Copies of this chain bind each other. A is one copy, B any other.
Amino acid sequence: MTDAGGPLDPRELRAWMAFLAAGHLIDHEIERQLKREADLSHPEFEVLVRLRMAEGNRLRMSHLAREAMVSKSRLTYQVTQLERAGLVKRTGCESDRRSVWAELTPEGIERLDRVRPGHRQLVRETLIEVLSPEEIDLLGDALTRVADRLRAR
C-alpha cells in the first residue's frame, strides 16, 4: 500500500504534470483562436456548442450549466453576454415557470459554424495529430472513466 499523502512516484508525477500542463497550454491556444476568429471566449464557445448539440438548439439554464460545467451564476453572466451579442435568446418555459430556455439564434448558429472549422483544426494540431490512434483510444477510455467517477461523486 502506497503512502496516501506521500509524493507521487516519478511516473505518476510525470503523468499528472503533463496532464496539467497540456490542459493549460491547449486551453490557452483555444482561447486565442476563438477570440481571433469569432470574438468568443472558451466558456462562451462551450455554451454555444452545447446548445447546438441539443434538441431544437435550446436547453434549460440548469441543464446547460451542468453540461458546460459552469456555475449557475457564471452561466447567467455568459448567457447575458451572448444574448447581448445576439447569439442566444432567453425564453420562459411554460411547463415550469421557474425554468428558462436558452436558445441559439440564427446568428448564434452562424457564428458557431463559422468558428468551428478553425477550432477543430486546432484540436487536431494540438492534440489529435500528436497522438497515435491507439493513444487516442486509450486516452479516451481512461479519461472518460476519470470524468465519470468524478461526476458520480
| Chain A residues proximal to chain B, CB less than 8 Å | 2, 4-8, 11-12, 14-16, 18-19, 21-29, 69, 116-118, 120-121, 123-124, 126-128, 130-131, 133, 135-140, 142-147, 149-151, 153
> By the criterion CB–CB under 8 Å, are A147 and B16 in contact?
no
- Shortest distance in angstroms between A51's beta carbon and chain B's nearest beta carbon? 16
Can you give 14 A-B contacts (C-beta < 8 A)?
A4-B120, A4-B121, A8-B120, A11-B136, A16-B123, A18-B146, A18-B147, A19-B23, A21-B143, A25-B147, A25-B150, A29-B153, A127-B146, A131-B146
> By the criterion CB–CB under 8 Å, are A135 and B130 in contact?
no
Partner of A29, one of B123, B135, B150: B150
Residues of B within 8 A of A150 (CB): 22, 25-26, 29, 126
Q: Which are the 7 A-B pairs with shortest beta-carbon distances?
A: A5-B117, A18-B143, A15-B140, A25-B150, A21-B147, A14-B140, A23-B23
- Shortest distance in angstroms between A135's beta carbon and chain B's nearest beta carbon? 5
- Shortest distance in angstroms between A91's beta carbon and chain B's nearest beta carbon? 27
